[in-house]
């Protein structure tokens, strides 16, 4: 693939972004990643998209999926877009997943895009490996509609796999595991779902973006399956020989109409013994994971207990980085660190066994990672949370929410935290028009 981008100046960023996504959505495969203009440490592209699959790698766990990913990278050393599903854990460790999965994303999917698009405030950069030139693609995008589709989902009936009582009972049982020493912290999730759903995918994504614009947002479409993502969390970014992870553990509510109350909530999060306990456990886990693939002594915590504000919540985010040992491949790094500690807990293998025991839904792409790989082997992947999943073929819609459970956890508070995290999604799904 020719990896030289052609640059086209633009004057209306918001309009071109809508045109770009509307144009990309006509293809069977597209991955659109949006930073929503957040300026955090190690921010990536403002918007980047891979459109139309020229070559595809699709595997389930247990089929040497990661080996095939390594071979796929060698065969196609250009841009790749795609995802890692949570249940790749079954290939990395002696684990299993037997719960139902109504959305049915593959455990691993990557594609070589025909077109790569990078968008910022000043310009749209286009790379084409297809029949159309960058200039022809630019003309098609500029000619595309900038309209935001509307969709009425007010009749959608959301159900939960857990009643409040069953959820609280599960938390109390998990706390007994912690008391016995089986684990220190566990991320426990539950699913909301709806059947016989017919909707306009772009309408849902736009509505979610308006309600909850976050720095690792995504519109992802493969083979009739969709993900509308409002994630605030990075799993891993590789830049040269530097690897960085930014786990989130710790949440408090925003009060946008009351500055004093909002600051009080923020400070309460920063000073919370329970939230700091969760966060530092995950930091230790990530440091341990990264040390498997980094030079000795190079793994450091760049920021501990950083508080970052998003539309619905304040989050506690820590940043860990290290210098990769020579010869480490992307698959080596994935095997050492996946699934991410913020979505499992510690110790990782034991809590993944407990997750399988107490949860009722296969996580699938939820708790996995979505992102891109560059021709130089750098990459950036998010953590798939705060996301809606939709299978257009069987008309099944789903989202999952969770929280970290420690000895200090109050079951009712954890349930309420899950409701807070789900609020933006529920609002979108009861009225999708932004």
Pairing of strands 345-346, 185-194: antiparallel
Which helix or strand (DSSP H or E) is residue 330 part of?
helix 330-337
How large is the angle between the packed helices 201-211 and 13-24, nearest 10 degrees? 150
Provide the β-strand partners of residue 108.
59, 84
Residue 288: CB partners within 8 Å, gap ≥ 6?
A: none
pLDDT for 241 equals 97
Question: Would you state the pLDDT for residue 407?
Answer: 86
Q: What is the per-residue pLDDT across 27-60, written as a single tens digit (0 to 9) for each? A: 999 999 999 988 766 667 899 999 999 999 999 8
Q: Is the pLDDT of residue 168 over 60?
A: yes
- Are the C-beta atoms of residues 22 and 202 closer than 8 Å to each other? yes
The pLDDT score that the predictor gives to residue 358 is: 97
Confidence at residue 18, expressed as pLDDT on a 0 to 100 scale: 97
Least confident of 31-40, 72-81, 387-396, 419-428: 419-428
Share above pLDDT 70 across residues of the chain, in percent, rounded to a whole number: 96
Q: Please tell me whether the overall predicted TM-score, pTM, comes out greater than 0.85 for this model.
A: yes
pLDDT number for residue 430: 79
Please determine, for residue 253, whether its predicted confidence score (pLDDT) is greater than 70.
yes
* Sequential DSSP letters for 213-266: --TEEEEEEETTEEEEEEE--EEEEEETTEEEEE-EEEEEE--TT-HHHHHHHH
CA atoms within 13 A on the CB side of 66: 21
What angle is formed at CA 87 by the lines to CA 86 and CA 92, rounded to 5 degrees? 100
Note the pLDDT tens digit of each residue in 214-226.
999 999 999 999 9
- Three-state DSSP class for 149? coil
Residue 420's pLDDT is what? 81
* Contact in structure between 406 and 278 (CB atoms under 8 Å): yes
Evaluate the CA torsion angle 229, 234, 235, 238 in order and state its sign: positive
Q: Residue 153 has what pLDDT?
A: 66
Mean pLDDT of 379-408: 94
User: What domains appear along the chain, each with residue ranges and CATH number?
Assistant: 6-430 (3.60.120.10)
Taking the C-alpha atoms of residue 208 and residue 110, their distance in angstroms, rounded to an integer, is 25
How does the average pLDDT of the chain come out, rounded?
93
Report, as an integer, the average pLDDT of 86-106.
Answer: 95
Q: What is the pLDDT of residue 41?
A: 64
Q: Are 53 and 236 in contact (CB under 8 A)?
A: no
Q: Is the pLDDT of residue 433 over 50?
A: no
pLDDT band at 142 (very low <50, low <70, confident <90, very high): very high
The secondary structure of 153-164 as a DSSP string is -TT---EESS-H
105 pLDDT more than 70: yes
């Amino acid at each position: 693939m020719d990896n030289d981008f052609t640059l086209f100046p633009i004057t209306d960023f918001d309009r071109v972004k809508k045109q770009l996504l509307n144009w990309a959505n006509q293809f069977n495969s597209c991955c659109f990643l949006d930073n929503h203009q957040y300026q955090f440490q190690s921010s990536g592209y403002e918007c980047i998209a891979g459109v139309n699959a020229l070559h595809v790698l699709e595997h389930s766990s247990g089929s040497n999926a990661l080996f095939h990913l390594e071979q796929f990278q060698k065969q196609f050393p250009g841009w790749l877009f795609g995802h890692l599903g949570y249940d790749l854990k079954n290939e990395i460790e002696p684990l299993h997943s037997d719960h139902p999965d109504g959305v049915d994303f593959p455990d691993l999917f990557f594609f070589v895009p025909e077109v790569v698009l990078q968008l910022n405030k000043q310009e749209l950069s286009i790379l084409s490996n297809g029949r159309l030139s960058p200039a022809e693609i630019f003309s098609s995008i500029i000619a595309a509609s900038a309209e935001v589709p509307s969709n009425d989902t007010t009749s959608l009936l959301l159900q939960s796999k857990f009643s409040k009582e069953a959820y609280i009972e599960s938390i109390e049982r998990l706390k007994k595991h912690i008391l016995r020493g089986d684990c220190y912290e566990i991320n426990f999730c539950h699913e909301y779902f709806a059947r016989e759903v017919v909707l306009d995918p772009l309408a849902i994504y736009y509505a979610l973006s308006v309600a909850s614009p976050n720095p690792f947002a995504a519109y992802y479409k493969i083979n009739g399956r969709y993900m509308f993502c409002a994630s605030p969390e990075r799993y891993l970014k590789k830049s040269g020989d530097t690897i960085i992870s930014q786990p989130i553990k710790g949440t408090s509510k925003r009060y946008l109409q009351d500055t004093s109350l909002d600051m009080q909530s923020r400070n309460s999060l920063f000073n919370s013994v329970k939230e700091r306990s969760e966060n530092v456990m995950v930091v230790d886990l990530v440091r341990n994971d990264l040390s498997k693939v980094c030079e000795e002594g190079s793994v450091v915590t760049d920021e501990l207990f950083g508080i970052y504000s998003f539309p619905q919540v304040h989050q506690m985010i820590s940043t860990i980085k290290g210098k990769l040992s020579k010869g480490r491949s992307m698959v080596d790094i994935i095997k050492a660190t996946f699934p991410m500690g913020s979505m499992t807990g510690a110790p990782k293998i034991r809590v993944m066994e407990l997750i399988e025991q107490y949860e009722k839904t296969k996580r699938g792409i939820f708790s996995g990672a979505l992102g891109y790989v560059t021709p130089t082997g750098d990459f950036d992947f998010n953590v798939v949370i705060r996301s809606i999943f939709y299978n257009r073929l069987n008309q099944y819609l789903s989202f999952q929410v969770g929280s970290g459970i420690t000895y200090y956890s109050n079951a009712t508070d954890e349930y309420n935290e899950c409701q807070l995290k789900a609020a933006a999604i529920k609002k979108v799904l009861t009225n999708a028009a932004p």
